[in-house]
Amino acid sequence: MMFSQFIASIAEPPRPHAQGLTLPSSFLRFVLWSGGWHQAAVCALSVTVFLLNAAPIETQRRIIDTAVHAGSLSAILTLVALQFAIILTFGLAKLAMNVYRAWLGECATRDLRLVVTHRLEGMGAEDSALTNGTGLAMILGEADDVGVFVGSSLSLPTVEIGFLASVFVYLAVLDLKMMFASLLILTPQFVFVPLMQRAINRRVAQRTRILRRFGDEILSPSKVESSARRLDEVFTLNLGMFEIKFSLNFLMNLTYSLGNLLVLGIGCVLVVQGQTEIATVVTFLSATGRIVDPWNDVVDWARGLAMTTVKYGLIIGALESSPSGIPSVAAAAC
């Protein structure tokens, strides 16, 4: 609590008048509007995080190389101490980044709820679709889904893609052939991930619309039967999304396993032929193992971005469809 308050008080931007701003038309503009310069600050912190995350790969190689070539004990202990210092600094920097992200997400969630609440307060009976279930869904559920993603919308790809890029550049310096072999791990995913994600996006949009209609119908006792049908439709859509999601995870894990096997095979052949050292092979295996989580995070981020963009578009569409237009709200950060 104290740490988040410290971050929030670093340089809180002034609040403009409520009548001075309107809800942005696109999700990216909403991210920049709600976070302000804090998005740039958390991205800068993300650069530090991914550099610290990549550094232990080289220190690990040096430790193994020193041991294999009968290096001194003091040199090995010095490298181990350096590795520990890097890991500790990385952990603290990542802690600060995660808290900063969470704060940005909560600010965005609050601002979006204020927008929708302010809009609903100015509606009359002619806007019954929004003043009933749809408006309630936007305030309680959809605003939270959109706002939470705002905190990591820019910093997450910065830290994960930056880490992946630094790792592959480092591997290319060590051995270009094995670097290309490592890169083959990710290549197939550029084909099946976008295709399966589009299928998920369609179901997310359909599910959101159905839940809004369910919110409207549940307030009307005469529509109990249709409400039950809506729940069956949501159940079917959720199962479909789980099937696609778990199939995607299966294909990704399969490519990782085959990629590691490829790196191990090529590395051992090169060692036998005297073209590389065992420490280099161990480094490549370690690096390919460490790119799994960052790449999964990038895929999850792309999936979250697509789904959040859909949900934000539905919120904007619902607000624009009402006679009173889009409301104003106090902006920037908390």
Find the CATH number of the domain harbouring 284: 1.20.1560.10
Rounded to an integer, the average pLDDT of 287-303 is 83
3-class secondary structure, 46: helix
Rounded to an integer, the average pLDDT of 73-84 is 89
Rounded to an integer, the average pLDDT of 46-56 is 89
Q: What is the CA radius of gyration of the chain?
A: 25
pLDDT band of 176, cuts 50, 70, 90: confident
pLDDT band of 306, cuts 50, 70, 90: confident
Residue 102 in tokens: 């969470």
In a domain, 314, yes or no: yes
User: How many domains, the chain?
Assistant: 1
Contact criterion met (CB below 8 Å) for 104 and 35: yes
Contact criterion met (CB below 8 Å) for 148 and 313: no
In this predicted structure, the answer to whether residue 229 has a pLDDT above a threshold of 80 is no
Q: How confident is the model at residue 19, as a pLDDT?
A: 40
pLDDT band of 95, cuts 50, 70, 90: very high
Distances (CA, A) of 245 to 113, 141, 190, 227, 301: 29, 21, 16, 27, 14
Q: Which one is predicted more confidently, 334 or 147?
A: 147
Q: Which one is predicted more confidently, 142 or 67?
A: 67
In a domain, 104, yes or no: yes
Full residue range of the structural domain in which residue 193 is found: 20-320
Q: How confident is the model at residue 11, as a pLDDT?
A: 43
In a domain, 77, yes or no: yes
Rounded to an integer, the average pLDDT of 113-131 is 63
pLDDT band of 140, cuts 50, 70, 90: low
In this predicted structure, the answer to whether residue 108 has a pLDDT above a threshold of 60 is yes
Q: How confident is the model at residue 329, as a pLDDT?
A: 37
Q: How confident is the model at residue 331, as a pLDDT?
A: 37
7-11, 162-166, 195-199 — most confident range: 162-166
List, for residues 178-199, the tens digit of each pLDDT value. Answer: 788 777 777 888 888 888 878 8
In a domain, 7, yes or no: no
Q: How confident is the model at residue 92, as a pLDDT?
A: 95
List, for residues 232-278, the tens digit of each pLDDT value. Answer: 787 888 888 888 888 888 988 888 888 778 888 888 888 888 777 77
In a domain, 169, yes or no: yes
Contact criterion met (CB below 8 Å) for 327 and 23: yes
Considering only 2-6, 31-35, 261-265, 308-312, which range has the smallest mean pLDDT? Answer: 2-6
Q: What angle do CA 106, 334, 98 make, to 5 degrees?
A: 45
* Residues 155/161/166/169 CA torsion (nearest 10 deg): -160
pLDDT band of 219, cuts 50, 70, 90: low
Query: What is 154-180 written as a DSSP string?
Result: THHHHHHHHHHHHHHHHHHHH-HHHHH
Q: How confident is the model at residue 24, as a pLDDT?
A: 81
Distances (CA, A) of 14 to 33, 36, 111, 313: 13, 11, 15, 28
Q: How far apart are CA 85 and CA 180, in angstroms?
A: 31
In this predicted structure, the answer to whether residue 86 has a pLDDT above a threshold of 90 is yes
Q: How far apart are CA 87 and CA 221, in angstroms?
A: 59
DSSP 10: S
Rounded to an integer, the average pLDDT of 22-51 is 87
Task: Report residue 31 CA to chain centroid gap.
Answer: 13
In a domain, 332, yes or no: no
pLDDT band of 134, cuts 50, 70, 90: low
In a domain, 254, yes or no: yes
Q: How far apart are CA 291 and CA 183, in angstroms?
A: 10
In a domain, 26, yes or no: yes
Q: How confident is the model at residue 103, as a pLDDT?
A: 92
In this predicted structure, the answer to whether residue 7 has a pLDDT above a threshold of 70 is no
Q: How confident is the model at residue 91, as a pLDDT?
A: 93
Q: How many CB atoms lie within 10 A of CB 260?
A: 17
pLDDT band of 286, cuts 50, 70, 90: confident
